[in-house]
Amino acid sequence: MEHITIKDIAKALNLSFSTVSRALRGHPDVNQETKKKILALAEQLNYEKNPLALSLRKQKTNAIGVIIPEIANPFFSRIISGIQHVAYEAGYNVMICLSDESIEREISNLRHLLRYRVDGLLAAVSVETSTFPHFELALAKQVPMVFIDRVWDHPQVSKVLVDDFEGAFTITQHLIEMGYGQIAHIAGPEKLLVTQKRLEGFRAAILAHDLPLPPDYIQFGGFTEDFGAEALQKLLSLPSPPDAVFCVNDRTATGALLHCKTQQVQVPRQLGIAGFTDMPVSKLIEPGLTTMAQPAFEMGEVATQMMLRYLAAERYEPEVLILKTQLIIRESTRRSII
């Protein structure tokens, strides 16, 4: 038989299918004997509940939707691993959608997941996302949401992030301590909250130490390697070029580093470079990249745990969880001879 159903079992045992249904989901009102028979037969026939029918009936899918910009990025793929890990243990299904850093696609992903009646939503917004009507919609539908890292800054949704301000402050301060005095910042996409926070942290550290900060020292743009290289090129061609850069993430930092290699710029001697995130490459590249580590896997885990709590309690109380970053010092900023 293609797929055996509750009815097949009922027929075989000469019972009504409601009794079978009860037995199968452990309802107390069913005779021990018949229950035993039913379970035995189900086992033997390899019966499995049809989750589609179940979802339709219960109006819940037992699924958590995930919208993420790209999966080929280790930061996000580690977040997804964390999500899967926790969801799997809890018997929840996760539906992953990729926005490809496009807001149009993000909207389409969201519609898809909503249409699908996911029980909850985990998301990191695309670089293009600066208005949030699509997420408003989800909010209106009472779907619990937890944003991860790339958050929607709205009081009614939960967030899991790191303290970007503090992280940026700390690493900038590290550059200063290493003796760099003309520090520039390769920033991310201008409208993103993460970009702004890291910029603020950077700026605060620079100001706290009375260092110069010409407007040209801040280069907005993107998260890619190419952008990092391009931005550094601009910085180096300034009349008074920086002696260090803090990059919004490791990818731009990597791009900057590669640019230095082609241009024979000595890192860390002539130029100090620091990143953010701590991707696997960062310790392999040479010189090793100084960076602020973000606990990506853990971010995925805790976001999912929060979601599971909401789902279990059937109430959604927005909360904000801020995880620790960690300064990882490698060679790309080791200017001073110790």
Partner DNA sequence: CTGAAAGCGCTAACAC
Partner DNA sequence: GTGTTAGCGCTTTCAG
Nearer to its own copies, 157 or 279 (CB): 279
Q: Tokens at residue 59, please?
A: 């109006």
2 binds its own copies (CB under 8 A): yes
Structure tokens that stand for 100 in this block? 């490809």
Show contacts with its own copies in window 177-216 (CB under 8 A).
none
Surface-to-core class of residue 114, CB atoms within 10 Å of its CB (0-12 exposed, 13-18 middle, 19+ buried): middle
Residues of this chain that bind DNA (CB under 7 A): 3, 5-7, 14-19, 21-22, 24-25, 28-35, 49-50, 53-54, 56-59
Shortest Cβ 312–DNA spacing (Å): 16
Interacting residue with its own copies among 89, 286, 317, 319 (CB under 8 A): 286
Q: How far is CA 240 from the centre of its chain?
A: 37
**# residues near its own copies by CB under 8 A:** 39
Closest of 307, 15, 332, 280 to residue 171, by C-alpha:
332
Identify which of 337, 336, 335, 332 has the alpha carbon closest to the alpha carbon of residue 287: 332
Q: What gap in Å lies between CA 149 and CA 56, rounded to an integer?
A: 33
Which of the 8 DSSP states describes residue 288?
Answer: P
User: Residue 81's binding partner, choosing from DNA, its own copies, none, with beta-carbon cut-off 5 to 8 A by kind?
Assistant: its own copies
Backbone φ and ψ for 268, nearest 5 degrees, come out as -95, 0
Q: Which of 177, 170, 168 is nearest to 334 (CA)?
A: 177
Quote the least distance from Cβ 119 to DNA, whole Å.
15
Would you say 117 or 154 has its CB closer to DNA? 117
Tell me whether residue 51 or residue 181 sits nearer to DNA (CB atom): 51
304 binds its own copies (CB under 8 A): no
Site for its own copies in 125-164 (CB under 8 A): 141
322, 163 Cβ separation under 8 angstroms? yes
Residue 134 binds what, of DNA, its own copies, none (CB under 5 to 8 Å, by partner type)? Answer: none
Return the H-helix or E-strand segment holding 61.
Answer: none
Residue 39 CB, shortest distance to DNA, in Å, is 12
CB of 4 to DNA, least distance (A): 8
Q: Nearest distance from residue 190's CB to DNA, in Å?
A: 41
Minimal distance, residue 161 CB to its own copies, in Å: 20
CA dist list (Å): 189 to 34, 197, 254: 64, 12, 17
Question: Residue 322's CB: how many other CB atoms inside 10 A?
Answer: 12
Write out the residues near its own copies by the rule CB under 8 A.
Answer: 2-3, 48-53, 55-56, 61, 70-72, 74, 77-78, 80-81, 84, 88, 93-96, 98, 111-112, 115-117, 141, 254, 258, 280-281, 284-286
